[in-house]
Amino acid sequence: MKRFLHPFCSFWPRATEKELVQMVEYLRTENRILRNKLPRRIEVTPAERAKLLKLGARLGSRLKDVITIVHPRTFARWLREKRSGVRRRRRGRPRKPEEIRQLIVAMARETGWGYRRILGELKKLHLHNVSRATIRRILQEHGFDPGPKRGKGTWHEFVQRHVKTLWATDFFTKTVWTLRGPVTYYVLFFIHLHSRRVHVAGMTPSPDGVWMAQIARNMSMVFAEEPAEFRPTHIIRDRDTKFTAQFCAILETDGIEFRPIPPRSPNMNPFAEAWVQRTKHEVLNHFLVFGENHLRHILACWLTYYHRFRPHQSLGNVPLGDAGLPPPEPIIGPLRLDDIVCHESLGGLLRHYERAA
């Protein structure tokens, strides 16, 4: 700005009236060219508006020949508002109440609906003063595609939609030392994705079709005892050939649908994979197992600890039994080490602490 104003100001005292007119005409043309390269509407700050009012008021009616940043009528309105001290309300319709905006965003996030489907739901709620354009704008402001969601959705969305009635199953192995030498045992388990509860269905060195069919019958009775809201409708499994057609058919008669994951995709069964890793790292890798009974004892102790005492980070660092419950009242008073009791199992491998009764 200094580079343009300095030559003009130095030339001003000695310029003739004709030269001044020519300079003003040049500056107006240059300003018009620059203005055409800018957006149609230019927002000015309160400080910039005050400067324009201060300088423009001096020109009076001559201002309309040079003003380009706003329409002369707009400038005249600014001047009236300044003199009266009253500002006119903002242009356009008033903003929709925040409660309606939050409802629209919640519908889009929870259902994936487009703006037309959301409009229908709002009319059902007797909210008739919201237009399709308003819904589109609100969705775009919050990063949602205003069009409806197409296709079957993602795997994560499927899991979240069925999480209360969704279970997963898988095998893991452990080498067991017997009188005949080392034997690989296969352990089959089921995990409820919502509560993280685990049920070890059985273990055997030879998971053939007969054994798998019996496991399916046993699990059918186990699932029948589950509360209705947690009874499985879908079970995630991999494509292991040990999951025979007979095994699947027995459970499908109870209305359970199996969801096989793609080959070599353990990340699509993360709850089961994480539990296997946790079981091996925290317990099984620390033992040489001698016989099936020894393996059953280790897993029984681990399951008791896992379900009753172990805090779970994904559930707020509380044990499974305390998940969803309000936090206990804090104990007021100094802490004495004599009040803390440590309980051990599996030779001190598993520990948990609690206050003495």
Range of the domain at 263: 159-315
Residues 6 or more apart in contact with residue 294 via CB below 8 angstroms: 176, 287
141 and 173: one domain? no
In a domain, 329, yes or no: no
Give the pLDDT band of residue 1 (cuts 50, 70, 90).
Answer: very low
In a domain, 11, yes or no: no
218 or 132, higher pLDDT? 218
165 and 307: one domain? yes
141 and 83: one domain? no
State yes or no: pLDDT of 285 exceeds 70: yes
102 and 201: one domain? no
Give the pLDDT band of residue 277 (cuts 50, 70, 90).
Answer: very high
Q: How many domains does the chain have?
A: 3
pLDDT score recorded for residue 161? 73
pLDDT score recorded for residue 352? 83
- In the chain, the percentage of residues whose pLDDT exceeds 90 is 37
Domain boundary among 72, 92, 112: 92
- Nearest CA to 341 out of 321, 356, 325, 357 is that of 356
296 and 218: one domain? yes
228 and 119: one domain? no
230 and 143: one domain? no
184 and 268: one domain? yes
- Taking the C-alpha atoms of residue 167 and residue 145, their distance in angstroms, rounded to an integer, is 32
pLDDT score recorded for residue 41? 74
- Sign of dihedral through CA atoms 269, 313, 322, 202? positive
